[in-house]
Structure 1
Amino acid sequence: MTIHEPVRTAADQPPLAARASAVGGSPVRDILAVTARPEVINFAGGLPAPGLFDSEGVAAAFRAVLEEMPERALQYSTTEGEPALREALAGRIAARGLPTGADDLIVTSGSQQGLSLLATALVEPGDTVLVEDPCYLAALQVFAFAGARVVPVPCDDDGIDPAALDALVAAERPKLLYTVPTFQNPTGRTMPVERRAAVAEVAVRRGLWIVEDDPYGELRFEGERVPWIAAQEGAAERTVLLGSFSKVMAPGLRLGWLRAPGALLRACAVAKQAADLHTPTVNQLAAARYLAERDLDAHVARVATVYGERRDVLLAGLPDSLPEGSRWVRPSGGMFVWVRLPSGMDAGELLARAVSESVAYVPGAPFFAGVPDARAMRLCFVTQGPDELREGLRRLRSVFC
């Protein structure tokens, strides 16, 4: 008699974590992948203009640190970041009205990592997080991964409505408020100083953390700089300030920073140890050398001048490129113009037609934590030069008009 062994089959793989299955990818990244053809004029990305990078200055800084201190530049570093870079960053922040020392800062792998560290240190699954409506897409991803319940705060053309914020904090007992108050992504709007003071007052009175993200604040084309929320009365101990070199030096360096009160800063340092130990040493030392030997402010001023000219080209062409009844925000800086098409139009549905015309934008609906606005779309105006912008506007006209 022959005894047959049972057929053995491979066991199923253990499933992904629920959060990995529930959180989708970035619509912007998906659109950029689809529209990577060189003939496409892409208003979709938030990409700094590569032709304006100070590549010679950055290269010189890398050469200097690799020639003068290769053993240190190629070695592990402290989790909080290289002292020289933290000292330089602290000086820049203090000069802009917020007293800061090197020990108040952690150098992060882009300000996006700072946001992830804060979610790890602050947010438990089920916690409520308040965000602007609409909100920076990657922030929505971070909070979703943390298992947060994300609640939008009503906003107008000046940003967060303080009275609505006060009512929501009382009703929802949130852990934090996330905001990009200067040249916001996606709307381009800027919160006036009076509104910032009112938001800070709510946070102090109600016991709320504010996460103030400022990746675009130095890219001002006109008007006076508005002080950070963190600099408002009583707000420094309630506010985490995030910043980045991505928009003012180069995004490929992946250098950002996080300023926070002591206990929270220490918790973020532990979270960073678990994430990546530290931000690359050579990049930090090169950035510190660049700040010591080059005039970053002068470079940013040159970039902002060019970006302002490109904004003006885009705004001048929108009336003839969009259907009658469209509305948009005129930003005083940053990288984006936020458009609302007339009632009944759907920017998401029209994207495929736009791509067929070799032009792309980001539909606005994914930016909303609450009810999406199908009419909305975001246009980035900094990556292309004036002639490409005008041609892109001509192609948009063939889509919408």
Structure 2
Amino acid sequence: MLTIEKNAVQRYLENKLHTRGNEEPICAYVYDLDRLKEHAETIKQSLPPFCRLYYAVKANPERPILETLEPIIDGFEVASQGEMTKLGTLTEKPMLFGGPGKKDQEIRAALQTNVEYLNVESFHELNRMAYIAEQMDVRIPVLIRVNLSTNVSESHIRMSGVPTQFGVDERDIPALITKALGCEHIDIKGFHFHAMSNNLDAEAHLKFIQLCIEKSLYWREEFKLDAPIINVGGGIGINYWDPEQPFDWSVLAEGLHRFHHYYEKENLTLFLEIGRYMTAECGSYLAEVLDVKTNHGEHFAVLRGGSHHLRLPAAWKISHPFEVYPVEDWRYPFERPGIMGDVVTVAGELCTPNDVLVRKEHVQQLRAGDVMIFRFAGAYGWTISHHDFLSHPHPDHVFIKKD
């Protein structure tokens, strides 16, 4: 599964090393668009008929990524007017608009584009939506975002079952539905339950989805709603800790087919908003090693790059999965620093001890001039990072296709 990605990176590195001369050290994001296309098609083809597949743009909004996914998926999940704008010239496929802090102008913009449904995240947001809809003389199709009363997984980040800024407390949902039914310009079309991030347990995810279905059916019956939509969000994870034990998509897909059969008479449409799991594996972050040194008995490698380009490992305090690409050419007339068969911490070029991408991991060999390849960097990589801290040059962004 990783061979295509690796070959794309190797092709880039071989070409770069051959042509760069005495340029700046290598630092780049490299994306394999063929791998992305194959992965997205596999996901889409595995889903039962009552599922619709949306891409969460926040995971990676780069234009070539969006262009590769657009023919495959059913639509896009957006969380800002900026994301709507990026899609405006690309697609006529529907968008879902979510997020806990929608501005009035964003709500108006959503109603003037191909946004299909808007999430309601609070009583005040419902009031604002109803007010804006009345001014524009339109009805807003909404999905009520629910913060469930119980925790639903052991995922890395939880947004439901715990106090968060997301959604409406499950205990307040009946009152919100009652209020929404009294708003002439609000049309309840379903419920939204995005509850987790980076869940690695497929069976737990299925239990969560079934809970969402049962809750939705209860409220639909209780309030006599014409609300066929159940948006279970995304939250399917990448195993950065043990890449050889990935999320088992086949278990999830088989379970969704069982749900389709079991709930076939309920007229349900299940929305999936896949972001990280869709794009992470197609991207790699490459950074050349500037120095290898020993400090207080521990080995450190310093990169041309770091958390200002790839923030996730510093934010999550993890060792990001990596490979070492050995570069035999050494262009200086003096000794080359490096280590063999030892443990190393890999830091970036920033003036902060928090700029760490790898924490005390074993390497067979690592030298100044080698290139480190950080896998699973195709989602929540560049765009969530603090690019301009210390004003270092940005990395290259390279998109590779077989043709």
TM-score, L = length of structure 2: 0.29
User: Whose RCO is larger (CA < 8 A, sep 6+)?
Assistant: 1
Q: Larger % of strand: which?
A: 2
TM-score, L = length of structure 1: 0.29
